[in-house]
Amino acid sequence: VERECNFIHFLVSRQQSTQPNILSSLRINLTIKPSKLKHVPALFNINITLSTIIKMSSVFLLPRALSFGDSISDTGNQIRDHPVLYYAARLPYGQTYFHDKPTGRWSDGLLMIDYIAMDLKLPLLNPYLDKNTSFNNGVNFAVAASTALDDWFFAARNIPVKWANNNAPLKVQLNWFKTYLNSSVCQSNTDCARKLRRSIVILETGSNDYSYALFQGKSIQEVQTYIRDIVGAIVDAVREVIRLGAIRVVVTGTLPEGCCPIFLAAFPNSDPKAYDDKGCLRDLNEKGALAKLRPEFPHADIIYADYYAAFLSVLRRAESLGEPSSTLKACCGTGGLYNFDKNLTKVCGAPGVPVCPNPDQHISWDGTHLTQNNSMYTVEIDHFKF
């Protein structure tokens, strides 16, 4: 089997020998094309969960995780700029896990990136803009409200990025990453490459690029024309981190926006056919494809974590996970069918806005972001494609 298969082959073999029962519960679907074995044209596949593969990766004792993205992954960068402006800097944000000390996470507790770090046996990743903390085991560059594309793209289309007072798009986060490498991690380019080979990079971004356009009145048809640019920006970022030395990169899909209370409240439709069997808006759930980079970098493991499919799986399994029938209502919020104020005046964290007593039984925390419980579920059942 050629070189690009070695990583997963080692992981499966090692895990099978140390925990022989683990594979009995896996969904096997690993794609390998052994191009050097000319007489073996068949493909075989493995499709296992994000949680499982991260746990399997820990046999390497990867010392560092590096995270890029937006509010789905931000562990406190956004509030470092203007803490008074952002509700994630105050309660009830963080109440489930951090109790009386909000950290800037847009949830009642932990995020998906936190569960990934825990599965890797690493401490929770500190935000890059917190200069009084340790980055020995990695760093989180994600910033809430940030975009994959640069500001000029939106300005050219008359789309104000009004929720991101200081937008830190993907290129800015990549510049922070290079500064981090040069200032505290590496002695040379060779040293950087060596250390990045023993790191895992998680890249999650793109949903805000669609959201900002939709909320400025752009049609779904027009927004769909942005997919090539958004995916292109993500692909360029993957190329950049691999060229710097990374060989394990996880690229996540976006969550299905048509199932989020903020979109359900903002884009009501009188036609029952506009909604799927779970009550999500169909037109907002068109999934874009990620360009294939494996042939360009055969030495690297470029992995797609399908948050979209994982979220829908959580939604379909809501009753078995102990969640109520009102799965599309926000836990923290008020107003309308979805417990969310579409005028964005009485949102979670604002004075007088109530919080449900049982966030663990809700999918949405504040109408836009997942509860801690469902971040955990999404990682555990994530569809992970090699």
Q: Is 67 a catalytic residue?
A: no
Instruction: Look at the chain and count its residues.
Output: 386
Q: Which of 67, 71, 146, 199 is catalytic?
A: 71
Q: Which of 99, 109, 102 is nearest to 362 (CA)?
A: 109
Q: Which of 67, 341, 369, 375 is catalytic?
A: 369
Report the SS3 class of residue 109. coil
CA triplet 52, 53, 55: central angle to 5 degrees? 65
Strand order in the sheet with 383-385: 47-48, 383-385, 301-306, 248-252, 199-204, 64-69, 138-140
d(CA 49, CA 26): 8
CA distances from 166 to 116, 207, 233 (A): 27, 17, 19
Q: Which residues is 250 bridged to in the sheet? A: 202, 303
Distance of CA 160 to the CA centre of its chain: 24
Q: Which of 341, 366, 375, 383 is catalytic?
A: 366
Q: Is 24 a catalytic residue?
A: no
For the beta carbon of residue 59, count every other beta carbon within 10 angstroms.
12
Q: Is 299 a catalytic residue?
A: no
Task: Give the contacts of 308 (CB within 8 A, at least 6 positions apart).
Answer: 253, 254, 255, 256, 285, 287
**Residues with a known catalytic role:** 71, 366, 369
